[in-house]
Amino acid sequence: MTYNLSRRVVLGVYAVLVIVPLVVVIFGSFKTSQDLFASPFTPPTDWQGGNYSKVVKDSGLGVAFRNSVIVTGLSVPLTLFVASLASYGIARTTGWKSALLFGFIVLGMAVPAQANMIPQYVQFETFGLTNSLLGLVLINIVVTLPIAVFILTGFLKTLPKELFEAAAVDGSGPWRTYRSVVVPVSVPSLSATAIFLFVIHWNDLLYPLLFINEADKRTIPVALLSFQGEFLTDYPLLFTGVVVASAPIVIAYVFLQRYFVAGITAGAVKG
C-alpha cells in the first residue's frame, strides 16, 4: 500500500526531526564543547553536571528562575480570577450591553503587543512599575485578559441554565454561586486556561525585555537571551540554559498533557 508506506515515511521522518534536536540538547548539556562537536548524537561518555552548576550560579539563571516562578506563580491565578469573574458576569447576563462588553474586551486580542507597548512602558515607568516583578505580573494579567475571557466565556455559555437557576432557587447570590457552583464545575476549562497562561507567562520575552533592566529582576527568557552574547558559541552552556528554562513546563507537560493540548488549542482557535 502506497498509503501506509507514505504514512510511515512521513511520520517517521518528522519524528526524527523533532526528537533528534531535543536529544542532542539534553546530551549536550552534559558535555564539553569538544565532545559535542566531535559526536553530537551520542550520549555523553561521563555525565558531568558542571555546566548546570555554572549556569545556575555564575550566570544568574538561578535568580532568574526564582523571578520567573514568582511572576508566573502570581500572574496565572490572578489572570484566571479576574477573567473568570468577568466571564461569569458576561455569560449570565443578556442583551446588547452584555454582548458589547464581551466584544469590547475580546477586541483586545486583535491588538498586537507592538501597538501599545510603548505607551505602556511610559505609563509603567510613571507608576514606578518598571524594574518590578509586580509590574510584570500586572502587564501579564492585562495582555492575557482578552483571550482568557474569550475562552472562559465560551465555556460558561455551554453550561446548562438550570445549574444557575437551581443555585438561585436555593437562595444563593451571584458571589456564592460563583464560588460554590461556577468554580467547581469549571475546573476542566480553568485548568486548560491555566496551562495556556502558564506557557505564555513563563516564556514571555517581550515585556521583561521592555520593563526590566536590572540584572537581578530578569526572568528566565531574558536571562537566557543574554547568554547569546556572553557564551556566544559555547553550545553546552546554551543547552544547559535551555534545559533549566524548559524544565518546569516539560514536567507539567508530562503530567497534564491533556490540558496542554486543550488549553493551547483553545487559545489558538480564536479566529
Partner 1 sequence: MSTTLTSERPPEAPTGPEPERPDGRRNPMAAHPALWLFPVPALVLYITFFVIPTIQGVVYSVTDWDGFSPTAQFVGVDNFVKIFTGDDLFRNALGNNLKFMLVVVVFQTVFSLALAVFLTKNSKSSVALRSVFFFPTILSSVSVAFIWKFVYDPNFGLVNSVLGAVGLDRFQSAFLGNDGQAIYWVALTQVWFHVGQMMIIFIAGLQQIPQELYESAQTDGASRWQQFRHVTLPMVAPATAVVMAYTTVQSFKAFDLILGLGGNPPKGSLDILSTRIYSGFANSQFGYAAAESLVFMALIAAITWIQRRAVKASSPDA
Q: Does 105 bind partner 1 (CB under 8 A)?
A: yes
Amino acid at site 25? V
Rounded to whole angstroms, how far apart are CA atoms 192 and 268? 13
Cβ proximity to partner 1: between 40 and 60 the closer is 40
Rounded to whole angstroms, how far apart are CA atoms 147 and 83? 9
Residue with cell 548524537: 41
Q: Does 171 bind partner 1 (CB under 8 A)?
A: no
Q: Does 120 bind partner 1 (CB under 8 A)?
A: yes
Residue ranges in 42-71 that form contacts with partner 1 under rule CB under 8 A: none
Rounded to whole angstroms, how far apart are CA atoms 167 and 164? 5
**Region from 15-23, 43-51, 55-63, 183-191 binding partner 1, contact rule CB under 8 A:** 15-23
Judged by CB under 8 A, the residue of 169, 184, 214, 255 near partner 1 is: 169
We find the least distance from the C-beta atom of residue 142 to partner 1, in angstroms, to be: 4
Residue with cell 514571555: 204
- Computed from CA positions of residues 199, 264, 257, 3, in that sequence, does the dihedral angle turn out positive or negative? negative
Q: Does 187 bind partner 1 (CB under 8 A)?
A: no
Residue ranges in 140-159 that form contacts with partner 1 under rule CB under 8 A: 141-143, 145-146, 149, 157
Could you tell me if 132 and 67 are in contact, meaning their C-beta atoms sit under 8 angstroms apart?
no
Q: Does 220 bind partner 1 (CB under 8 A)?
A: yes
Q: Does 134 bind partner 1 (CB under 8 A)?
A: no
SS percent in the chain: helix, strand, coil, step 5: 80, 0, 20
We find the least distance from the C-beta atom of residue 63 to partner 1, in angstroms, to be: 17
Residue ranges in 85-104 that form contacts with partner 1 under rule CB under 8 A: 85-86, 88-90, 92-95, 98-99, 101-102
**Rg of the chain over CA atoms, in angstroms?**
23
Nearest to 29 by CA among 270, 241, 246, 249: 241
We find the least distance from the C-beta atom of residue 65 to partner 1, in angstroms, to be: 13
Nearest to 200 by CA among 56, 83, 122, 102: 83
Q: Does 239 bind partner 1 (CB under 8 A)?
A: yes
Q: Does 215 bind partner 1 (CB under 8 A)?
A: no
Residue ranges in 240-269 that form contacts with partner 1 under rule CB under 8 A: 241-242, 245-246, 249-250, 253, 257, 260-261, 264-265, 268-269
Residue with cell 475580546: 106
Cβ proximity to partner 1: between 201 and 217 the closer is 201
